[in-house]
A and B are shown apart, each in its own frame.
Chain A
Amino acid sequence: EAGVAQSPRYKIIEKRQSVAFWCNPISGHATLYWYQQILGQGPKLLIQFQNNGVVDDSQLPKDRFSAERLKGVDSTLKIQPAKLEDSAVYLCASSLGPKSSYEQYFGPGTRLTVT
């Protein structure tokens, strides 16, 4: 079974530029998560999708971050414009559904450096 795929793996941009990350979850997984992990911290949930609907985006900085999952499969996360403090690893995870009993599976992450 293929795991969660993310691209790109690494990205370096200058502040005020825009960037987009892509995630392909495990086939059949209805729930998709985007996390931000700053160096030395635990992951912070940015947004959770159930199929193509948003379940929780309470910690997403909506003035600069946006995410979509139009067909309920792949998802993109965009930052526009980027700030220095956005430097982090962006993790995508998926699960069969939103229940606590369903384990989350994580992708390899995208490491973003904003200079």
Chain B
Amino acid sequence: KQEVTQIPAALSVPEGENLVLNCSFTDSAIYNLQWFRQDPGKGLTSLLLIQSSQREQTSGRLNASLDKSSGRSTLYIAASQPGDSATYLCAVRPGAGNNRKLIWGLGTSLAVNP
């Protein structure tokens, strides 16, 4: 059974720091992995989606990497800003085909302090 773990559960950093959020999964047979951002009590914003054949994806100050063999993904945020404060969730699509449910981590709550 696929399980997704995110460490740390919470992180507080000063503005300007580069930081890394971690996501690990127990079954390497995934189709893709997605990172989301969620502001308190709000919906989910998709940040990056990495296909199983890819090693990384970049968008602005965000870079997500994927190492299927070790069951890990990292989200790197460069030059963090207070506006980056939010909860970051990763979700794994367990395989190809139809109607495969996303398997979610519990998220990392990030606070970037001015």
- Interface set of A (CB-CB < 8 Å, partner B): 6, 40-43, 45, 48, 55-56, 89, 91, 93, 97-101, 103-109, 111
Contact = CB atoms under 8 A, between A and B. Distances in A.
Contacts of B41: 89, 109, 111
Contacts, number: 61
Contacts of A108: 42-43
A109 B97 CA distance: 27
B100 interface: yes
Contacts of A6: 43
A76 to B, nearest CB: 18
Contacts of B26: none
B44 A56 contact: no
Interface of B: 4, 31-32, 34, 36, 41-46, 49, 89, 91, 93, 95-102, 104-107
26 contacts: A6-B43, A40-B106, A42-B89, A42-B105, A42-B106, A43-B104, A55-B99, A56-B99, A89-B41, A97-B98, A98-B98, A100-B31, A100-B32, A100-B97, A101-B31, A101-B32, A101-B96, A103-B46, A103-B49, A106-B44, A106-B45, A106-B46, A109-B41, A109-B43, A109-B44, A111-B41
Contacts of A99: 96-98
B3 to A, nearest CB: 11
